[in-house]
Amino acid sequence: MNSNKYQPVIGLEVHVELKTKSKMFCSCKAEYFGQKPNINTCPVCLGLPGALPVPNKKAIEWCIMIGFALNCQVSNFSKFDRKNYFYPDLPKGYQISQYDEPFCINGSIKLSNNKSVGIRRVHMEEDTGKLIHQENSTLIDFNRSGVPLVEIVTEPDFESVEEVVEYLKKLQQIVRYLGVSDADMEKGNMRLEPNISLRENTTNTTNKQILPIYKVEVKNINSFRFVEKAIEYEIKRQSGILNQGKNPIQETRGWDENKQKTVSQRIKEEAQDYRYFPEPDIPPLRFINSQISNLKSQMPELPTDKLIRFQKEYQLSKYDAEILTREKETADYFEESVRIGKLQKVSPKQIANILINKKVDFKNILPAKLIKGIVFSIKIDFVDKSKLRKIIQNVLLKNQKAVNDYKNGKIQAIGFLIGKVKQHFPKGDTNQIKSTLEKHLKT
Amino acid sequence: MKINVLHVAKLANLPLKNEEIKKLEEQLSETLTYIEKLNSINTENIEPTSQVTGLENVAREDEPKPSLSQEEALSNTKSQHNGLFKIKAVFDV
Amino acid sequence: MNLNQLTIKEAKEGLKNKKFSSVDLTQDCLKRIKEIEPKLNAFVTITEKEALSQAKKADDMIANGDDLPLLGIPISIKDNFCTLGVKTTASSKVLENFIPPYNATVVEKLNNAGAVTLGKTNMDAWAHGSSTETSDFGSTKNPWNLKRLPGGSSGGAAASVSSDEVLAGIGSETAGSIRQPASWCGAVGLKPTYGRVSRYGVIAMASSLDSPGPITKTVEDSALILNVLAGQDDKDATTSPRKTEDHTKDLSKSIKGLRIGISEDYFKGIYREITEDVQNALKVLEKQGAIIKNIKLFDPQYAIAVYTILQRAEVSSNLARYDGIRYGNDRSYFGEEAKRRIMLGTYTLSAGYYDAYYKKAQQVRTLIVKDFNQAFKDVDVVIAPTSPSTALFAGSSEDNPMFGELADVLVEPSSIAGLPGINITCGFSKEDLPIGMQIIGPQLAESLILNVAYKYEQETQFYKQRPKL
């Protein structure tokens, strides 16, 4: 089979869960991961009779900030709509979403191959409850019901898996930079739905503007790796069908990790009829230009801008700058260290080297301490505190006698315990180990 | 105008008995005939009104407040298990 | 005279002067309820024990010299307001065992005002109707004639007030559900401006229209309760931020020079007796200095169509949450009327029909709003009959899918525009049935329409007539 015979046409819908303190339309805590079931619910997010939604201002602002980061136009007028459908995880029988007037439209994002991917829309909605499937029953937890979700829809501009993955990583980095979502795939903070179809590969440019007559949507994928595999699988599967002179059916499929393939979930004989209409319980939103520009002025520096600035301002290589700006925490730590280091004549490059080559524990070694370490070249390993704590707990557990001795007044027994801990940290700071041990022995 | 009652009932998630279907078909088309009176009104270039208050931009601060207890949340359900609502098995679609 | 026959104002005075206690007052209401409920069926749930303990608490507070707007006053609440720990059914079997874990904002406010709640009143199931016949727990009868309907959907509330079971009732109106039963039962029914009173905790019917309000014996009582209920609620995003006012303040203000509009279309096809009584009422107001002006309002016939589309669509969505999982019974428990409305609403919102029905209705809604705005440039209030008929016979609503809309034709336009309106009795028919007229004002003009109603009431005092039950 000639793999270049077809050109993939891929679009993406990504749901990003915001990390606001409260839910989208009620004041329940927005936490659900690792929580006891159904403890963060109220009449609103349980869909009790008579309850009414009131939107979360911060969530709306964050949604718009995502739009800004993706170079979207922010609409002056926007509203919420009801999307009506039935499913046991949807307590009201409708999801409050946005239909024809989303907060943000017409954006774009640039990939490393200089290609611009269109962002069709960025809108605000609410999450559903969580279903837990058992053999003969299904259990429902509504802690997640009403958690703010931002849906980001691209144009079908991707032509390869690599482009898709790069976009997703960029998007993840952006929302983390904005501080609006942890975008933790494993926790379901970011959910991916690629739609894939194939067109004949040709140099004829008019053909490129015509979309294939079908598209296959793969629902709710929660890992970059699975998205890759699902798209690769679909390209192969659809090529096979096209090669037989047939057209793949328009449908929704799911990725089955065990079978390593996508499986059909529902043929869309008729497009889902969501019966959208304007949400009567929430007045519309109007943003005057000054509000929009005010919000824009609150935008933090985005990864691409930071990358360029780091190279220029600190004379770093692109490689170094990329590592340092990958996460905002690292970039901030670096800049703070540079600021302090400047007074002590430590160069940004020196700091960059240490940060890139050693795993510095940001929480416990503040930039000032790091600079001190560089200036005086003290050969102390700054012990990772959480690691130290684990080792100490282990040592205490295995050396009950020494512990009891210490507790009974034989204070010198601590020397034995320090020795045991030091076996794990030969170059560790004895004072730090001692003081941590003492803390543990007292509790 | 004849309504496809079965299709609409499916969308509305309403279980209907056979005799209801027939009756609804008649009554709904009777009502539709009535509301089609509106067609005689010219609404070209008229903005739709979804709300009459004239309010805009109503939102709340992002501050959590106490929720219902698990017991209260589950107090009206017929079927529960370990703090969760329990229903007949459904399969993710 | 029994204590249950008092108005709120009279009862407040008696309580304050220690002529009787709230427990005495509550006992008299309970006695009346026990005596006539078997015939009337105005209540779905009677909360005797809770009421007596609220009354005792009120008496303690009165003894302490405390004063609250409704302290110790026995009232009823329509069964679509969520009441913490007290069954709330909306008169539907779907919710026959539902016990809310929270209070509606209105209920919270009534509690804070010291009111004594005697129970939850019957209604058309889900507030779908104008007869109280669609209740799954038996229909309510009209206190003036037990063979007649009380109107609806707040039929239980209106009947409980006009039969002296309670001093006042809290109802809700989407289009007519307060004014029309108040008219048929001979009570004062106030539908406030949409957004003036919080909807939080009121089982939603048509969200863009629902307005809770009081049903009382007198206009002054209506103003007293509105003072308690009105105001912005941070749990209802559609409530008006406008400052609340004391609605009793301007009640007796002169209406000299007040411009009253009447529109011919509102007198088409209605009982002759009703037209006559409303015209007589206008003369009474004219005598007090009001000026009657003929105006031309949008034909109310179109409002029926607009209302039917908007309401059915919103109903189909609002009733989607009743799936029997978290509370209540499953969807097979819906009655015929609810099913009809869900079906029509689902249909009009479905793919390909939205523009023809829902959007069209919203556009005509714009025209109706504009029409009223225009009218209120020329007149201060509009007066019209409340209902085209007096109380109809039981059974009239059966198998008529448009019964409610036709009975409510005269109240629907103002509801669609979110305007306040008040029903007040302006006479009695030959069959000794109450006849009501309505006074409609611009948005948030509650004080004005209460003022006009009060001036009329002081002159005529129809409220002093009682049904012989």
Residue C160 is which amino acid?
S
CB–CB of B76/C84 below 8 Å?
Answer: no
Instruction: List Cα–Cα distances, C356 to A275, B32, B39, B48, C348, in angstroms.
Output: 13, 11, 9, 12, 8
Tokens of A46: 């349980």
Q: Give domain status of residue B20, yes or no.
A: yes
A24 CA to centre of own chain: 18
Architecture of domain C3-464: Alpha-Beta Complex (3.90)
User: Which pLDDT does position A203 carry in this prediction?
Assistant: 65
User: Which pLDDT does position A381 carry in this prediction?
Assistant: 54
Q: Indicate the burial class of B54 (C-beta count within 10 angstroms; 0-12, 13-18, 19 or more).
A: exposed
Tally of domains within chain B:
1
The predicted-structure confidence for C233-278, as pLDDT tens digits, reads as follows 999 999 999 999 999 999 999 999 999 999 999 999 899 999 999 9
Interatomic CA distance for residues C464 and C291, integer angstroms: 27
Measured between beta carbons, which residues in chain A are less than 8 angstroms from residue B83?
36-39
Interatomic CA distance for residues A23 and B64, integer angstroms: 8
User: Which pLDDT does position A269 carry in this prediction?
Assistant: 46
Q: Give domain status of residue B27, yes or no.
A: yes
> Which runs of E-coded beta strand occur in C206-346?
211-216, 259-263, 291-295
Is residue A56 located within the same domain as residue A186?
Answer: yes
Q: Give domain status of residue B1, yes or no.
A: yes
- Chain A contacts to C (CB-CB under 8 A): 42-43, 46-55, 82, 84, 86, 88, 91-94, 140, 142, 271, 273, 275-277, 280-283
DSSP count for chain C of H helices, then E strands: 14, 11
Tokens of C443: 């948005």
Question: How confident is residue A262, by pLDDT bands cut at 50, 70 and 90?
Answer: very high
Q: Give domain status of residue B4, yes or no.
A: yes
Is residue A316 located within the same domain as residue A170?
Answer: no
The predicted-structure confidence for B5-54, as pLDDT tens digits, reads as follows 999 999 999 999 999 999 999 999 999 999 999 999 999 999 999 999 99
Is residue A278 located within the same domain as residue A405?
Answer: no
Q: Give domain status of residue B70, yes or no.
A: no
Interatomic CA distance for residues A292 and A289, integer angstroms: 5
CB–CB of C193/C229 below 8 Å?
Answer: no
Specify which of A324-333, A402-411, C209-218 reaches the highest per-range mean pLDDT: C209-218
Is residue A61 located within the same domain as residue A182?
Answer: yes
CB–CB of C100/C125 below 8 Å?
Answer: no
User: Which pLDDT does position A386 carry in this prediction?
Assistant: 78
Q: Give domain status of residue B52, yes or no.
A: no
CB–CB of C144/C162 below 8 Å?
Answer: yes
Are β-strands A81-84 and A116-126 bridged in parallel, bridged antiparallel, or unpaired?
Answer: unpaired
Q: Do A275 and C317 touch (CB under 8 A)?
A: yes
Is residue A216 located within the same domain as residue A353?
Answer: no
CB–CB of B80/B74 below 8 Å?
Answer: yes
Is residue A207 located within the same domain as residue A67?
Answer: yes
Measured between beta carbons, which residues in chain C are less than 8 angstroms from residue B48?
359, 362-363, 365-366
Interatomic CA distance for residues A316 and C425, integer angstroms: 86
pLDDT exceeds cutoff 90 at A421: no
pLDDT exceeds cutoff 50 at A1: no
User: Which pLDDT does position A415 carry in this prediction?
Assistant: 87
Chain B contacts in chain C segment 208-227 (CB below 8 A): 208
C78 is catalytic: yes
User: Which pLDDT does position C469 carry in this prediction?
Assistant: 86
CB–CB of C78/C161 below 8 Å?
Answer: no
* CB half-sphere exposure, C308, CA atoms < 13 A: 31
Q: Which of A295, A327, A352 corresponds to the end of one domain?
A: A295
Interatomic CA distance for residues C104 and C244, integer angstroms: 19
Instruction: List Cα–Cα distances, A218 to A37, A191, A228, A260, in angstroms.
Output: 29, 11, 11, 13
Domain that includes residue B25, residue range: 1-40
Q: Do C369 and B49 touch (CB under 8 A)?
A: yes
CB–CB of C29/C74 below 8 Å?
Answer: yes
Instruction: List Cα–Cα distances, C403 to C132, C148, C395, in angstroms.
Output: 12, 15, 11
User: Which pLDDT does position A410 carry in this prediction?
Assistant: 85
pLDDT exceeds cutoff 90 at A419: no
The predicted-structure confidence for A100-157, as pLDDT tens digits, reads as follows 999 999 999 999 999 999 999 999 999 999 999 998 999 999 999 999 999 999 999 9
The predicted-structure confidence for C205-221, as pLDDT tens digits, reads as follows 999 999 999 999 999 99
Interatomic CA distance for residues C245 and C259, integer angstroms: 23
Q: Give domain status of residue A1, yes or no.
A: no
- Which phi and psi (to 5°) does residue C387 adopt? -135, 150
Hey, of B68, B72, B86, B91, which one would you mutate to test binding to chain A, going by the most A CBs within 10 A of its CB? B68
**Considering the entire predicted model, what is its pTM?**
0.91
3-state secondary structure of C317: helix
Is residue A370 located within the same domain as residue A400?
Answer: no
Measured between beta carbons, which residues in chain A are less than 8 angstroms from residue B89?
133-138
Active-site hit among C153, C162, C172, C415? C153
Tokens of C210: 């629902």
Are β-strands C168-173 and A130-133 bridged in parallel, bridged antiparallel, or unpaired?
Answer: unpaired
Q: Tell whether A340 lies on the interface with B, counting CB pairs under 8 A.
A: no
* Sign for the pseudo-dihedral over CA of C348, C351, C357, C361: positive
Chain B contacts in chain A segment 16-35 (CB below 8 A): 20-22, 27-30
Are β-strands C259-263 and C381-385 bridged in parallel, bridged antiparallel, or unpaired?
Answer: parallel
Taking alpha carbons only, the member of B39, B16, B43, B40 closest to residue B28 is B16
The predicted-structure confidence for C137-188, as pLDDT tens digits, reads as follows 999 999 999 999 999 999 999 999 999 999 999 999 999 999 999 999 999 9
Chain B contacts in chain C segment 425-454 (CB below 8 A): 443
C91 is catalytic: no
Tally of domains within chain A:
3
Q: For chain B, percent helix, then strand, then coil, each to nearest 5?
A: 40, 10, 55
Taking alpha carbons only, the member of B55, C80, B73, C229 closest to residue A26 is B73
For chain C, list the contacting chains (3+ Cβ pairs, <8 Å). Answer: A, B
Tokens of A220: 């709710």
For residue B13, the chain A residue with the least C-alpha distance is A86
Active-site hit among C12, C21, C76, C78? C78
Domain that includes residue A413, residue range: 385-442
pLDDT exceeds cutoff 80 at A430: no
3-state secondary structure of A282: coil
Are β-strands A251-256 and C74-78 bridged in parallel, bridged antiparallel, or unpaired?
Answer: unpaired
A-C C-beta contacts closer than 8 Å: 103
Q: Tell whether A78 lies on the interface with B, counting CB pairs under 8 A.
A: no
**Strand (E) or helix (H) holding A325:** helix A318-325
**Strand (E) or helix (H) holding A261:** strand A261-267
**Percentage of chain A modeled with pLDDT above 70:** 94
Residue C53 is which amino acid?
S
Q: Give domain status of residue A143, yes or no.
A: yes
Interatomic CA distance for residues C423 and C39, integer angstroms: 26
User: Which pLDDT does position C221 carry in this prediction?
Assistant: 98
The sheet carrying A81-84 orders its strands as A94-97, A81-84, A277-278
Interatomic CA distance for residues A52 and C82, integer angstroms: 13
Q: Do A49 and C100 touch (CB under 8 A)?
A: yes
pLDDT exceeds cutoff 70 at A427: no
Taking alpha carbons only, the member of C71, C69, C187, C206 closest to residue C127 is C206
3-state secondary structure of C410: coil
Interatomic CA distance for residues A276 and C83, integer angstroms: 31
- Give the CATH number of the domain where residue B31 resides: 1.10.20
For residue C316, the chain B residue with the least C-alpha distance is B12
CA distance C278 to chain A (A): 35
Taking alpha carbons only, the member of C29, C36, C43, C44 closest to residue C74 is C29
- pLDDT < 70 positions in chain C: 399
Name the β-bridge partners of A267: A251
In sequence order, what are the residues at sequence separation of 6 or more whose Cβ sits closer than 8 angstroms to the Cβ of residue C143? C36, C40, C150, C159, C162, C163, C185, C467, C469
For residue C324, the chain B residue with the least C-alpha distance is B77
Name the β-bridge partners of C77: C120, C170
- Chain B contacts to A (CB-CB under 8 A): 11, 13, 50-51, 53, 55-65, 67-70, 73-74, 81-93
As for the ipTM of the complex, it is: 0.96
Q: Give domain status of residue B78, yes or no.
A: no
Question: How confident is residue A380, by pLDDT bands cut at 50, 70 and 90?
Answer: very low
For every residue of C165-231, DSSP letters joined together read: SSSEEEEEESSSTTHHHHHHHT-EEEEPPTTTB--TTBPPSSTTT-EEEEEESSHHHHHHHHHHHBS
CA distance B93 to chain C (A): 18
Is residue A282 located within the same domain as residue A397?
Answer: no
A283: nearest CB among B56, B61, B62: B56
Mean per-residue pLDDT for A30-38?
A: 96
Is residue A189 located within the same domain as residue A242?
Answer: yes
Is residue A275 located within the same domain as residue A325?
Answer: no
* CB half-sphere exposure, C267, CA atoms < 13 A: 18
Q: Give domain status of residue A209, yes or no.
A: yes
Interatomic CA distance for residues A227 and A14, integer angstroms: 11
Question: How confident is residue A211, by pLDDT bands cut at 50, 70 and 90?
Answer: confident
Interatomic CA distance for residues C216 and C454, integer angstroms: 13
Name the β-bridge partners of A7: A199
Active-site hit among C177, C183, C222, C389? C177
Q: Indicate the burial class of C466 (C-beta count within 10 angstroms; 0-12, 13-18, 19 or more).
A: middle
3-state secondary structure of A50: coil
Question: How confident is residue A205, by pLDDT bands cut at 50, 70 and 90?
Answer: low
